[in-house]
Structure 1
Amino acid sequence: MKDGYIRVAAASFDTSIANVKNNGLKICKLINDAYENNAKIIVFPELCLTGYTCEDLFNQDRLLNETKIQLQTIINETDNKDIVAVVGLPYQHLNSLYNVAAVIHKGKLLGLVPKTHIPNYQEFYEARRFESAPKNNTTIIFNGKNIPFGTHYIFASSTNPEFKFGIEICEDLWLPDSPSIKLALNGANLILNPSASNEITTKKDYRRLLINSQSARLVCGYIYSNAGNGESTTDVVFSGHHIISENGTMIKESSGFESEIIYGDLDLKKLSSERRKMTTFKSYYDYENIYFDSTNLDLKTTYYYDPHPFVPSDHTLRAKRCKEVFDIQTHGLMQRLQATGIKKVVIGISGGLDSTLALLVCTMAFKNLGYDNKDIIAITMPCFGTTSRTKNNALGLMNELNVTSYDIDITESVKVQFKDIGQNENVHDVTYENVQARTRTEILMNKANQVGGLVIGTGDLSEVALGWSTYNGDHMSMYAVNVSVPKTLVRYLVDYVASLYHGQKLETILKDVLDTPVSPELLPQQDDKIVQKTEDIVGPYELHDFFLYHMIRFGDEPHKLFRKTQLAFKNKYDKETIKKWLAKFYWRFFTQQFKRSCIPDGPKVGSVSLSPRGDWRMPSDANVKEWITEIEKL
């Protein structure tokens, strides 16, 4: 289970009702198949060893005795196999018959977990034969060995702390007080459910919704194995609808109406990380742990990671996401304007993506508030690296949006600064670049004072993460509308707004902005072409956004993040390229925290934010050595 990855399986087979030996043979074969496919868990349906629909045959000694014999056969079959098999069967304890799940591992019966909620309505009448689980854990004797029996057990790997699971059976899931709630609070990252849920119209949709919702609520992996072929009899039909879900996301689903084994790879470390962050996800300590020894497996996982976690790949969902984000940005700015009573804003426009998006947010906020667009003071400030393309796009935007525009060439002002501090203007170093950025911010701040307005910041989340801004330059503003929007999403937001102006000149300008290389334009242009491309310096933004998302959301160690990135970008970047930019990301992220510690207010739009007042509090002097050392070992 290296890096937290585990492969799990849910299976059904052509059940032969009451032919226990035949069913046992099929179960053994599927266990072997799953083991050969590197699964660590396989879950079978409820009462599958006998068949769920045996009805009053469950009271026949011949059936129950043969069940014990075949259970031992299955246990023997798993000897020396590092796979957990969960098998449903009837079992008598004292005076009562229970519907139980047997937990088997490496030739041992780890425990029997009885069903808690026994349905007795509509087509279900289990209460005619089965008793609800006893309230307290107890012990039974099976073939001369003491075996735990009860529902208050967590099955835990002694070698992998995240590998913990609990069991509930079919109907248990459908109740408001489902056992899985307590199981999760007691540390179970996986919930296993042997089930026999019959098929009627729309039930599959509800079942899918129920399981995905439960896995989301409990921040867990959920493995649901449902009775299928051979169980259909009299008035009921079963389809073998299996589901593997992780934290609300469907990982795998069976096609149904055929015997099938499905596999899914889950990330248990990710689940553990999500719970750790949620201080409201309390820990309970009233269940017993049953430990088993499961060896580490370096799984060649098929786990899917979206290379662009901030941007939905589906066009419809992406449009919906863009509208949500743009609305949040707009209404955040509206609130700031209303709260301060200020009706003017000042914004620097470069002709690039970030400032374009910020200007679009301003114009929408003013429209919603009924303010005059002429009170949006937009200033473009060309200097050494400005090309006619970006300048013309900046002026075109301002003209089409009908804002008050200024074209202030800062070249002479910058040269005065160079003279004052003794900077050689032929030396294109960091001072050469930053004087330009600070001069622009100085103009914006002074203009805001002059007109009684707010300076609107344009920097985005990716730049904040990398510290790709000039301290006391574009790093500062009075309200930063893009501060939690990642670079990979900015492009789609501008494209979304462009679609609102379809057929108009503004759309054409916005499309050209989208096609312009990302650049601060601080180095002298050559032949009116951009020579300074941001991604050549800091690396691809799509990689940095991926690093940022997984580092902040899940607290991944560098080796885990490296592995995730390889899975997500396996057809685009080689290992050395990923390693290079991963090291750059960590170095910049740590060393630039001092800039984040004093960034201005701005609206939080997603689950990842670096605001020092809420989501990310980090000492500015934290040392990055531990992270870089691990990357060097990759």
Structure 2
Amino acid sequence: MKLIKVGGAVLNQIPLDWDHNKNNIVNSIKEAKNQGVSVLCLPELCITGYGCEDAFYSPGILQTAKEMLLEILPHTKGIATSIGLPVLFQNRIFNAAGLLVDGKILGFVGKQHLPGDGIHYEPRWFTPWQENTKGEIKIGKETYPIGDIVFQLDDIKVGFEICEDAWVSSRPGSRLHKLGVDLVLNPSASHFAFDKLEVRKRFVLEGSRTFGCSYIYANLSGNEAGRAIYDGGTLIASSGVLQAVGERLTFDDYKLTTAVIDVDNNRLNQAQSSTHYKFADLTGICFKIPFEFPTILPEPYKNKDKQWEKSPFIKEEEFARSVSLGLFDYMRKSRSRGFVISLSGGADSSAIASLCYLMIKFGVESLGLEKFKAKLAYFKELSDCNSVEELAKKIITTAYQPTENSGEVTRNAASKLAEAINSDHYEFNVNEIFQNYKQIISNGLGRELTWATDDIALQNIQARVRAPSVWMMANIKGALLVSTSNRSEAAVGYATMDGDTSGGLSPIAGIDKAFLREWLKWFEKEGIDGNMKLPALKAVNEQQPTAELRPQDSHQTDEDDLMPYEVLDAIEEAAIRDKKVPVECYNLLKTVFPDYSREQLKKWTIKFFQLWCRNQWKRERYAPSFHLDDKNLDPKTWCRFPILSGGFTRELKTLEKYDN
């Protein structure tokens, strides 16, 4: 048997933070060498960070990336390491992976398929590398090959599929198979989404089986640039068998996963699947270097109990862990000293407060108390904290801000939750401010404002007068004010600009209300492993969602103002994600919700489209949100829609006459 030990490392990088990124790269290489790894795969664009946006156009950035590569080079003595960076070649910028072997640069491979959908925008900055082409690039004083090439370390042939290359039908691995490649490296920057791990496993397993090789997939980790959360999860497979899966959603700067692969067994599998093999000429595309692979003893088969066949997290836990990690990285990378939340006692703000608490719990669980504090060293007030509860008191600030239309139910819910998570909790009664504004405008207009004539104005001013006090608390504490709006509200504009949308981060703006409500019930009663739960959420979960802005005798609820959230979310998914016109949405609702009358479903469909079109300007002003699935409404990175439009006028007229 020819056995070699390989590894993949996930890195928590920061765009353009050269020293931070270099340290993570170097430390992961050191760890790999300490564990006897011969070939190490690191993530895509790990030198610069993946999310540099238009900074990729800067000649200075491209030059610095090459300088950092040369600084990292001496650390690769005794190991082969792939490192991602942008390179300029023939006046085009390419997303490339360099292979550094035993302290030398062997060459670079260019990414062939660039994602340009959803959150991805790579074709804006990069040019796709053409199949079967190669060239030369100068780094420092030396010239190296670049292109669609294969590397040979001793007698081990190594090829690349860079992230999206593996997600397309014409993946480069098919050609690598014809060249007899033993090991495929996949440096990736694949953002978190629900159930996405299973998709990655399929292409890694299928690639290793079809190509008869070993396959290493290495991803980024954490909230790198603000919106995308990367979940890590290194994958190593050989000939269709998963050998190792790295831990996901950790708070570490880097995390190494290793496995021992049997090269001879892979070659035998290639031989058995190549009865119609046509010889491929390696001349000019395979670059060789002597490399000594140490003698490796077989490791026990790690996957014998199929423990990695499914994600270890259910959706509720994935949501909790991904947003918690996103919050932690956003806080520390923006150097904010905690979070301020306007805690209304309702579902949205309660979910965010709970997630901030989980951020601390998961962070301490993942890193340990001292390392958790060390990663927040700028936040000096945490230095004397000795428990999760003490950390929570310093990191989480909550404020309940009632007016005359607020009730004891929400006050009680907010108070109980704040006590349970040990937040620094306040109550700021803003009713006098509300009344002052009301009187000022009444005096100016020369008439009294009433609910009969000024409903929306009176509701919105209550939401807006709550913003200055929590902004002031955020400024005093040097903390980040968190906006509490969800995706269902964003879709129809059921939010007050400069009120509940105030904040520097909107962590649940990508999540629908129905899921949030179910998640809160799960966290109240079940939680993580049956013990990390929050019974205090019972007071929140017993309520019907309400803005609590009209007089209490109106018994205001969100669903009375809008429509049932399950209906709203179904229309949003069909109309926005699936791009269906109003009649198509209505026909879908008739099937999914047979208990509602057709006339009612038609009215709700019309209402959704009208509100959607009128409120694009609000979505344009939302604070950055996290991407968690394929239904995000962020107009800057996911769902573009004109601020001014015809508003589906023709389509809605067609719907009004439909079924008549």
The TM-score with structure 2 as length reference comes to 0.46
The TM-score with structure 1 as length reference comes to 0.48
